[in-house]
Structure 1
Amino acid sequence: MKAAVVEEFNKPLVVQNFPDPECGPNDVIVQVKANGVCRSDWHAWVGDWEWIGLKPELPHILGHEFAGIIEEVGANVKRFKKGDRVVIPFSMGCGKCSCCQTGHQNVCENLTIFGFACNGSYAQYTRVPLADVNLVHLPESIDFTAAASLGCRFMTSFHAVADISGVKAGDFFTIYGAGGVGLAATQIANSLGARVIAVDIDDSKLDMAKSLGAFATVNSKNENPIEAIMEITKGGSDISYDALGIAETCRNAILSLRNRGTHVQVGLTSKEEGGMISLPTDLIVAKELQIKGSLGMQAHRYQALLSMVESGQLHPEKLVSKTIPLEEASSVLESMGQYGTVGSIIIDRF
């Protein structure tokens, strides 16, 4: 099969013929129809996240935001057949541990991150392990490009906003970072009745946030974002959301909260922070702030997400800025080092 392969970290991907994936008894092989190029792929490409076990062994195929059609089905798989249209969460569970048994497969004790622990979907075909636990049927009404844009960014934001944040209609919901995760969160929080404030240093991304329903935007290159948010909200945001994961955005997000506010951390850090960020601890205590982490989303929660897409309450396709052939994936990753992308870029030609 044709695949874009990481042979060296921080070097261009090599598009080459790669061995076809083998289907185990609990697996399926999917023909990839569309795949998002995600900032998480960039972190893997440069060799970040070794401290949390997410530095892949080389050579490696990236990709974890995909939709496609089942080509082959393992002997033990019961819920899927050849020809089914499917999509997956990148956070895959084992189905047996206590977290999986209580419906929290996204934080499985034996968690597998698709495209990191196993080869991903920058390829014509990919293997999905433990398909009955981790795979999701894709409705005919949702095309493959829109489904791929649901990948890491949109499904992560859906879980974080709808399940973790405790958002209520009328809440001020401040999002630091208007990349893919932040823009998805903007659309989702807006659909749930929140007043979204998007913070970024790029006016084009802030313009996109406005088009997705942001109540207000703040360019933190031009003004102090904490002061701006305190003025807009008259006392602080009910919820803050760090979509980027650098020390500055994490701290600023927490400092933007009103008393008893909630901070949701979604962005993972980079090599510079190494997973460690200092926080305004005394303020967290004095204001009784809550700090919550959020990772991925369980396969069973896709039903709610896909229903909102089918009903027209959510429009993931609006986040797609362009589609590209597989050969251009490497140049997109390179541009991410300077935050050079807006919205979602989808590979749809293999």
Structure 2
Amino acid sequence: MKAVIASKPGIISLGNKAYPETIGSTEVRLKVRTAGICGSDMHIYKGTNPFVTYPRIIGHEFAGEIEAVGSNAKGFQIGDHVVVDPVSSCGLCYACRLGRQNVCKTLSVIGIHEDGGMQQYTTVPTSSLHKVPDRISWEVAALVEPFTIAAQATSRGRVTAEDTACIIGAGPIGTAVMMVCKMIGAKVLVIDINPARLDMAKKLGADTVVDPASPREKKVLDHFTKHGGFNIVIDAAGVPEAFEKAIDITSPAGRVVTLGFSPNSSAITQKEI
């Protein structure tokens, strides 16, 4: 069967892999229908993802149809449409016991630490599956995973309908965060250097957009917040400069959520926080 394999930085190809004949008792065999290309996948290709090991079948945003179920796989049946939670954790460490499985000491992510969803068939434990209605298209189903990131970011940031929010970065994740903020009822401004992404963010519901290189940026931000700063800033750019800006433009008693993991340091002082 076919699989998308990143063999090393800069080298990615469509290769062959054995069909997964064997299924664990609590696993299913999944026929992968769609998979999204995440920024993390691009970093794997470029060699800038600090967590990946090579060679690696990429893809952690994927959806599929159950083709076979293990002998003790409960709650699922052949033909079910499902999406996959790509993160697995031990369930025993301090972080897991707090309900923070995303920072488990032995965290493993499909498509990064272990082979991912860009293959025709794969096996997945039932604990990582979530059913989706058949009426949802496969293309939309593949977007469930990135939208869970947006849901988590807005939850951690305690976004409310009363908030004035800023999203730094209008890539797919930043745009998803903006859309969830608007669903909650917040007023949202989006910052990005890419005019096409700003146009898309505006079309999808952002109240205001601005390029940080524009000489009007400070005036736009001040007008939007009535000179009070943003109650919630979500950094979806993942570069030190964006994190520094987030601290700078947040109101007193405001919240900052960062979604990036740049290896470079930020120049933020305790006084600013």
The more displaced of 253-262 and 70-79 is 70-79
- Look up the equivalent residue of 1:16 and give its one-letter code: G
Offset of residue 105 of structure 1 = 3.4
Determine if the alignment matches structure 1 residue 118 to structure 2 residue 117: no
Q: Is the 8 A contact 1:23 1:74 kept in 2?
A: yes
| Gapped regions of structure 1 (runs ≥ 5) | 285-350
- Look up the equivalent residue of 1:55 and give its one-letter code: V
Q: Could you state the TM-score of these two structures normalised by the residue count of structure 1?
A: 0.72
| Residue 283 of structure 1: aligned partner | 272
Offset of residue 44 of structure 1 = 1.8
2: distance between equivalents of 1:252 and 1:226?
11
| Residue 160 of structure 1: aligned partner | 153
1: distance between equivalents of 2:109 and 2:264?
18
Q: How does 1:163-312 map to 2 (within 5 A)?
A: 163-223=155-215, 225-226=217-218, 228-234=220-226, 235-269=228-262, 274=263, 276-284=265-273
Offset of residue 126 of structure 1 = 2.1
Q: Is the 8 A contact 2:241 2:266 kept in 1?
A: no
Deviations 1:13-59 (A, max 9, x none): 21122222343333222111111011011112222243xxx12221x
Determine if the alignment matches structure 1 residue 84 to structure 2 residue 77: no
Higher helix share: 1
Alpha-carbon spacing, 1:3–1:179, altered in 2? closer, same or farther (3 Å) = same
Offset of residue 158 of structure 1 = 1.0
Q: Is the 8 A contact 1:26 1:76 kept in 2?
A: yes
SS of the residue corresponding to residue 229 of structure 1 reads helix
- Look up the equivalent residue of 1:204 and give its one-letter code: A
- Greater relative contact order (CA < 8 Å, ≥ 6 in sequence): 1
Q: Is the 8 A contact 1:226 1:255 kept in 2?
A: no
Q: Could you state the TM-score of these two structures normalised by the residue count of structure 2?
A: 0.91
| Residue 301 of structure 1: aligned partner | none
The more displaced of 244-253 and 2-11 is 2-11
Determine if the alignment matches structure 1 residue 57 to structure 2 residue 50: no
2: distance between equivalents of 1:216 and 1:182?
14
| Residue 45 of structure 1: aligned partner | 45
Deviations 1:169-221 (A, max 9, x none): 13111000000011001110001010010000111111111112111111112
Q: Give the superposed CA RMSD.
A: 2.0
Offset of residue 250 of structure 1 = 1.1
Q: Which has the larger radius of gyration?
A: 2
Q: How does 1:79-158 map to 2 (within 5 A)?
A: 79-97=75-93, 99-100=95-96, 103-128=99-124, 131-151=125-145, 153-158=146-151
Determine if the alignment matches structure 1 residue 26 to structure 2 residue 26: yes
Offset of residue 100 of structure 1 = 4.3
Aligned length: 271
1: distance between equivalents of 2:152 and 2:49?
22
SS of the residue corresponding to residue 148 of structure 2 reads helix
